[in-house]
Amino acid sequence: MNPEINKRIAQLRAEIERHNHAYYVLDAPVIPDAEYDKLFRELQSLEAQHPELSTPDSPTRRVGGKALDGFAPVRHAVAMLSIRTETDISDTGAIVFDARVRKELGLGENDAPIEYACELKFDGLAINLRYERGVLVQAATRGDGETGEDVTQNVRTIHYIPLHLKGCAAEVLEVRGEVYMSRRDFERYNERQRAQGLPTLVNPRNGAAGSIRQLDPALAARRPLSFFAYGLGEARGWASPATHNAVLDALGKMGVPVSDERAVVRGAEGLVNFHQHIAAKRDQLPFDIDGVVYKVNSLALQAELGFVSREPRWAVAHKYPAEEQLTVVRDIDIQVGRTGKLTPVAKLEPVFVGGTTVSNATLHNEDETRRKDVRIGDTVIVRRAGDVIPEVVGVVLDPSIAQGERKEDGRFDLFERLHGKCPVCGSAIVREEGEADWRCTGGLFCPAQRMQALLHFASRRAMDIEGLGDKLAEQLVEQQIVRTPADLYKLSMTAVASLERMGEKSALNLLDAIERSKRTTLARFIYALGIRNVGEATAKDLAQHFGSLDNLLAADAESLQQVHDVGPVVAQSLVAFLAEAHNREVIAQLRASGVHWSEHEQRRMVELPFSGKTFVLTGTLDSMTRDEAKEKLEALGAKVSGSVSKKTGYVVAGAEAGSKLDRAHELGVAVLDEDGLMQLLNQVK
């Protein structure tokens, strides 16, 4: 065997795992994705060429293996016992536990308070990780406590779990902890699933458990899972510290994720304070918990206390209010969001869940409502966790009621329920091909969308009205001073100066900015209208192609698709927007207010040096920001795109250029460094 190859494989494994830890655990990546991919592909290639060098702790094992027929049973060397749950969510739960422990230890009132390790009770799936000589060799579920299931292939796909422990050569060290799904990852995963019309996960706990018990590891690898350690199983050849908290500290030094939300406290008062402290920040945690756990910190005292009925006397879980409850759907409303999205909302019999009373819960969209088959009169499971909007996660049917006897018949049809009209403004609603959501087309007119429409209209790349931010826009809309963007050009000094935190000077500055915004470009004006799917680049293409607003207003779907990069979806968005009389009226009012641009500027675009050329910017430039480079290129007629294709003229690559540079090389697209870009710009001055 070539020692250089062996050395390179070892280097790659170490570097890749270092980057995995930085990316997944520390949330602080140090190299671009493209560079990581290169390292990973090199390791895969070397291992394929030299299979004898493949090891169980190689990062290539994280992509999943062959699908299984079933899970093999695993007999736990040390039983995975559950701990007692204290359901009294008041301070009394902690006080009673401390009193019980003191009694078992024979301590009197004058004896010193007991030291406890306090941690979170994660809401996921318990896992036992078996490391031999520091290498992960097996992962198993709790099962019945004595025997679990071998889920090693699936657990290896979780980047938070180290395949090799740092500085640990113990013959055996079993790490026990919880596989969980963070709220952010859960919401993102479900959002992607809903967008594709695919089944969603009921809650993060079920998402974690279902992912680990997938027979196909490739499917498990697509689920975003995390892990926290909370204890040990079998340990041979390892000198254990004297306390539970020190054990967790030691695991953290080995590279095993351990939650920072833990504390060592003394006595019942310390337990109560910890319970209250976590309760106050429970909603802000990035993951679900259903309580906290108290453990006697001294391992010697744990051994002295022992077990009763297969539960440790030295630990207890102290619960919080449940985050899922049953209630009844009284009605289904349709709400219009700030972007025009129509969302079915279940009106509920009020229920206390997740620490608050809930009477409304989202059903997300038409497809999700149909898939869950939610109907008025149904008993449903409602979930509220953290600051996530309460949602209906499923229906609980009474087995005595036949399907045809439910109070509301038939599948949910949002279009039919609304007769095809927005419930707020009466504009037509549309659902684009491939989209999960119905939307209102009355963007400039719809009261539900006023705030968003106003902020977008005033944004820097649209009409660029400096000083018109969230707080001011909110006041203008709530006080009904502004109903459409056209009303901005009718604002008086008196009306603006009377608003909170304004005054005459601020009001004068705002009115000056509004007046300056009247002179703009056709491209900026089109973009400012906030038409769905019409971004900055598309607005510029439309302005260049049609040359005047009147030509654009007269265009049909077929002629719109003659514009560069405008396909059926964008064309339909434009047609639907311009078909609404309300929107055309607002456009007319804007023009009547003095908003204008020079028509010949658009025609002149075709004569500019970079007309018809597409540039892509990637990486960091020294002499200017990417936005500044984009403005310079666009001023010379270029189109600046976010993706590389065969039609791309140049890719400008700065420092730490990513996958776009790789794509340019693959397609043979010309690449310029920063000096090359500056030379090109100087040539056409």
Residue positions annotated with a catalytic role = 121
Within 425-567, residue ranges assigned H as helices are 450-458, 470-478, 493-497, 503-516, 522-528, 536-546, 549-553, 557-560
Q: Tell me which residue of 545, 540, 510 sits closest to 526, measured CA to CA.
A: 540
Is-contact 517 565, C-beta < 8 A?
Answer: no
Per-residue burial over 345-380, b if 16 or more Cβ lie within 10 Å, else e, is bbebeebebbeeebeebbbbbbbbbebbebbeebeb
Q: Tell me which residue of 670, 667, 679, 528 sits closest to 595, measured CA to CA.
A: 528
Element holding 631 (H helix, E strand): helix 626-635
Which amino acid, 546? F
Is-contact 223 189, C-beta < 8 A?
Answer: yes
Alpha-carbon distance of 135 to 435, in angstroms, equals 46
Q: Residue holding tokens 């309580």?
A: 291
Dump strand ranges (E) for 53-191.
73-75, 85-86, 115-122, 125-132, 135-141, 147-149, 172-180
Cα 184 to Cα 21, 226, 417, 535, 591: the distances in Å are 19, 12, 32, 27, 43
Which amino acid, 491? L
Is-contact 105 187, C-beta < 8 A?
Answer: no
Is-contact 114 180, C-beta < 8 A?
Answer: no
Alpha carbon dihedral 543, 546, 548, 551, in 10-degree steps, equals: -140
Alpha-carbon distance of 508 to 402, in angstroms, equals 67
Q: Tell me which residue of 345, 370, 343 sits closest to 437, measured CA to CA.
A: 343
Q: Tell me which residue of 679, 652, 649 sits closest to 667, measured CA to CA.
A: 649
Q: Tell me which residue of 101, 90, 168 sits closest to 134, measured CA to CA.
A: 168
Alpha-carbon distance of 176 to 130, in angstroms, equals 9
Which amino acid, 202? V
What are the backbone angles phi and psi of residue 371, rounded to the nearest 5°? -65, -40
Alpha-carbon distance of 546 to 603, in angstroms, equals 9
Cα 427 to Cα 154, 443, 446, 582: the distances in Å are 49, 9, 8, 8
Q: Residue holding tokens 């657990």?
A: 155
